[in-house]
Chain A
């Protein structure tokens, strides 16, 4: 059976029903760092029919290339990570309850009382918590440590779950008015964006799309992907937290918001892992200004993206990142705005069409 597909070179991509459907599929899939199989399959199904070359490398990255036309094509790498934070089952106890370990940065205060899906078969389970009636006031002042939590899949789970199986939050994708609420928007938003860009790859560049693994546990996939692609420049497409919430004391302004919802794609100048190449930052901001696409600067500070390893690969690769802002990353349910996603896609596409060899011809300048 042939898959219906659309390659629309020269036409700007948009977010519509089919893009949202793809994002939903990506978010509801399970791909804890080190076991990205499900998302890899979705990505392969999508990109096989549109890319000129597709390969799965030694670590499990999907590397898809769409060649442009004519001479002097710049080799542009875009990276979005397929993996998400989650859990690994580490021990079965005599009471048929399973001990687990977090994979990636998870605040353990987000765990008690959550539904989860375990293993490739998505077996439903819950992370229980002691009834409040049996706790003491003193106990409630301390957080519940992950080592004291268990995943419960019912009394007759038998051998269906084993140590080593991965689990994720069970949250299902939902649209809430102007927003998306889902698990793993970090970074399925990026994955879905890259797929759209591949479908609409402009002719002036060779688009090298890396769907990477193990970002959440140490940016491992991006390093080898960048080596293999050997690009002229790179942009990591990720999702970054929007801490745009009020300070508990109304008198106090929240000056560390990182990014805000509704303010458009977040362009990186500097984070803990990368000092962005200013030429790329300028490309993105000038594109936004000329096209009337809103954008914001991610507040310089901590955090990092795949760009953190890409820019130091081989003899150095000019890099930056663009993120779709989302609230409550690394929890059971994050919230992002459809408009921010659409504007990120528009900005990236328009910026790619403007990439010329001259952009990177000179020395890196501030």
Chain B
């Protein structure tokens, strides 16, 4: 198993649904501890790592923001030994029936999402998709035991084992956005052997899928001069084929649109070309659906770049990523940061 694959498996081994990120935070803390000079946790739970630059103080600061929270579900009712659920983050209810899940009750319980048969559903359900409020979770225990172990408000996370596909592709749940945390880790690793003038702040942010809370708050404490937001972007498959999706495994997505400072886009494009790192322009004409929406408007405003790792089947338990694109993203970030001269900020302006 490659080092990156091992890292990814570790990064997806812990839950960390939006608002409840502590399990994954501990894993990232362990990975970043040897790579940073200082690690802190923000008031709402984001992990903030500082790797100091070599320039004279005061040094400029670059922020890398990769959200660590994951989509999932929450128990809304426990009855007859079964649970009803609602979503945390965006889940298409059509992909839920038959999914393996973990119910995080008084202990972790393996379960499955159940679509009751038609005669137990309202007639309006017909043979179409069953709304989330009618789905159930079964953990295989008898009602009295379930009542003891599970309460309303308990978390439910995807539990399908990840699968290694051909061509260095990995399929599994929660790759959104642990692949970006992994890419950030690769970047920090690469910077161990590089001299860089700027301070690097790596943030594993919280609550991107629901409130963007992490992305709104950590930059306020850190006050970076520029920010690189790393997230997943859509990769092409049979039913995601238009301009919104990028080719799978064929390069980093470079976000382009109002959330992104055009000079930062240009700088990243130039860097990717110079290093022959494959990339594709990822058009975001209105909004990016990433931490950048929040980071951009913190305090007096922060210039953002968005790097996207193309991911198929986003927000399903079989999200699929190419390891190549994760490596490319980590490398592109590291090279960009290492080459930031003390006066580099001057280039990121509005002079056309």
The chain A residues found within 8 Å of chain B, CB to CB, are 93, 95, 97, 107, 109-110, 112-115, 124-135, 140-144, 148, 150, 152-158, 160, 170-172, 174, 176-181, 241, 243, 245-249, 254, 256, 262, 327-328, 331-333, 335
Contact = CB atoms under 8 A, between A and B. Distances in A.
B138 A335 contact: yes
Nearest to A170: B163
Contacts of A158: 166
Contacts of A328: 98, 112, 114, 138
A170 B163 CA distance: 10
A115 B171 contact: yes
A249 B164 CA distance: 43
Interface string B309-322: 00011111110101
Interface stretch (B19-27, B126-134, B336-344): B126-134
B351 interface: no
Given A152-B171, A155-B169, A243-B120, A131 B240 contact: yes
B315 A126 contact: no
A327 B237 contact: no
Interface string B97-115: 1111000000001111011
Chain B interface residue number, banded: 35 or more
Nearest to B136: A245
Contacts of A254: 120
B229 to A, nearest CB: 16
Nearest to B236: A95
Nearest to A127: B318
B94 A129 contact: yes
Contacts of A126: 163, 165, 171, 313, 318, 320
B313 A97 contact: no
B299 interface: no
Contacts of B313: 113, 126, 128-131, 152
A132 B317 CA distance: 12
Contact of A154 (B79, B161, B166): B166
30 contacts: A95-B238, A107-B97, A112-B316, A124-B165, A129-B95, A129-B239, A130-B239, A131-B316, A133-B234, A134-B240, A135-B92, A140-B92, A140-B129, A142-B128, A143-B94, A148-B238, A152-B320, A154-B168, A154-B320, A177-B140, A179-B140, A245-B82, A245-B120, A245-B136, A248-B116, A248-B120, A327-B114, A328-B112, A332-B99, A335-B112
Contact of B94 (A95, A128, A144, A155): A144
Contact of B316 (A113, A172, A245): A113
Contact of B163 (A124, A132, A160, A174): A124
B115 A110 contact: yes
A179 B141 contact: yes
**Binding site secondary structure of chain B:** loop
Given A154-B169, A245-B82, A132 B238 contact: no
Contacts of B130: 109
Given A95-B237, A245-B114, A248-B134, 7 more contacts: A131-B315, A140-B94, A148-B239, A158-B166, A170-B163, A171-B100, A246-B79
Interface in B118-147: 119-122, 127-130, 134, 136, 138-142, 145
A128 B318 contact: yes
Nearest to B141: A177
B161 A150 contact: no
A226 to B, nearest CB: 31
Given A113-B317, A332-B100, A133 B90 contact: yes
A351 B222 CA distance: 76
Nearest to B249: A155
A248 B115 CA distance: 11
A298 to B, nearest CB: 15
A127 B313 CA distance: 9
B270 to A, nearest CB: 28
Contacts of B234: 131, 133-134
B142 A155 contact: no
Contacts of B80: 245-246
A333 B112 contact: yes
Contacts of B93: 140
Nearest to B313: A128
Nearest to A108: B127
B98 A93 contact: no
B238 A150 contact: yes
A245 B135 CA distance: 11
Contacts of A181: 110, 112, 140
A93 B122 contact: no
A174 B159 CA distance: 13
Question: Lowest 4 CB-CB distances: which A-B pairs, in order?
Answer: A154-B165, A176-B140, A179-B140, A156-B167
B54 interface: no
A247 B161 CA distance: 32
Contacts of B256: none
A158 B166 CA distance: 9
Contacts of B248: 155
Contacts of A256: 119
Contacts of B194: none
Contacts of B82: 245-246
B244 interface: yes
Interface in B59-102: 79-80, 82, 90-100
B167 A109 contact: no
Given A142-B128, A178-B140, A97 B237 contact: yes
Nearest to B100: A333
Q: Among A124, A160, A256, which residue has the most Cβ atoms of chain B within 10 A?
A: A124
Interface in B248-279: 248-249
Most buried by A among B94, B112, B171, B313: B94
Contact of A243 (B117, B128, B142): B117
A331 B97 contact: yes
A191 to B, nearest CB: 21
B117 to A, nearest CB: 5
B53 interface: no
A333 B114 CA distance: 9
A84 B90 CA distance: 33
B160 interface: yes
A245 B116 contact: yes
Contacts of A170: 160-161, 163
Contacts of A153: 165-166
A245 to B, nearest CB: 5
A246 B115 CA distance: 12
Contacts of A135: 92
